[in-house]
Homo-oligomer: A and B are copies of this chain.
Amino acid sequence: MYKNRKTEPALAPIGVFDSGVGGLTVVREIMRQTPSERIVYFGDTARVPYGSKSKNTILRYSRQIIRFLRTQNVKAIVVACNTASALALPDIQKELDIPIIGVVQPGAKVAAETTRQKKVGIIGTEATVNSAIYTHMIQAVDPDIQVISRACPLFTPLVEEGWLKDPVTEQVAARYLDTFKESDIDTLILGCTHYPLLRSLIGRLMGNSVQLVNPAYETASALKNLIEQEDLCNPIPPQLQNDMYQFYVSDAADKFKQFANSILPYDIETTKQINIEEY
């Protein structure tokens, strides 16, 4: 399947990208579940957010980012952005000769396996929800599962404002999640990388009977399986964290570092800025 696999050494890093900082919730899970792997992360902070943009634009951006990640000799790529996974991955997958996975399929698969009432809810960006890709992937597992979705465009700005535990955020969440009140779902996918940061609020509003699925966690598990199957695991244990993990952004990095240091288990010392439009 992956023609050049044998020429990509297992020592090479995993490439991970996102529209901005949100994908760091996926990076955190990859660090936990595959601690021997090197990571090159790219956050498209100059063009963030993707969630309100069109498929063609997101596809063009994703292709540029993958061209950049290939210059870093990555052995596999994780699309750590729900919107790019939903809109760009199906096309990009066909164009690559290294393994690539997104966050949508692992999340959809676990949700389909989790639901007992056969009713799954999804929250995400407008672009993700309108793509209906979660619905397609869940119904590919079991066509009888009913899927109810709701775009929550204010969640990301609220998280970035830092209002995680705030009466305003609670009211916004209550209004968005009201969509699921009558529908009797028992499983809800947090279909945007920022939403796990609102996990306790969303869990409280949905109640104990609803299981929350965090695609970041499921994606890191799927990546672990994938590199094991493909014989791509790094045999060398980690040395210094700052050598193992490289962070690139397309816009100045102060805010990125701040957010990263609040999410990751260690403090990032340097981030590098590149002009992604040149790729």
Contacts and interface: CB of A to CB of B under 8 A. Distances in A.
Interface of A: 45-48, 52-54, 56-57, 60, 153-154, 157-158, 160-161, 167-168, 171-172, 175, 250-252, 255, 275, 277
A53 B154 contact: no
Contacts of A60: 275
A87 to B, nearest CB: 12
A252 B158 contact: no
A276 B47 CA distance: 12
B153 A252 contact: no
A57 B157 contact: no
Contact of A57 (B46, B52, B56, B161): B46
Identical copies in the complex: 2
Contacts of A56: 252
Contacts of A255: 52
A178 to B, nearest CB: 13
B171 A167 contact: yes
Contact of A154 (B48, B54, B161, B251): B161
A56, A153, A154, A255: most-surrounded residue (chain B CB, <10 A): A154
B153 A160 contact: yes
A158 B168 contact: no
A275 B56 CA distance: 11
21 contacts: A45-B53, A46-B47, A46-B57, A48-B52, A52-B160, A52-B255, A53-B251, A56-B252, A57-B251, A57-B252, A153-B157, A153-B160, A153-B161, A154-B154, A154-B157, A154-B158, A154-B161, A157-B157, A168-B171, A168-B172, A171-B171
A157 B163 CA distance: 14
Given A52-B255, A168-B171, 7 more contacts: A47-B47, A48-B52, A52-B160, A57-B250, A154-B158, A167-B171, A168-B172
A250 B58 CA distance: 12
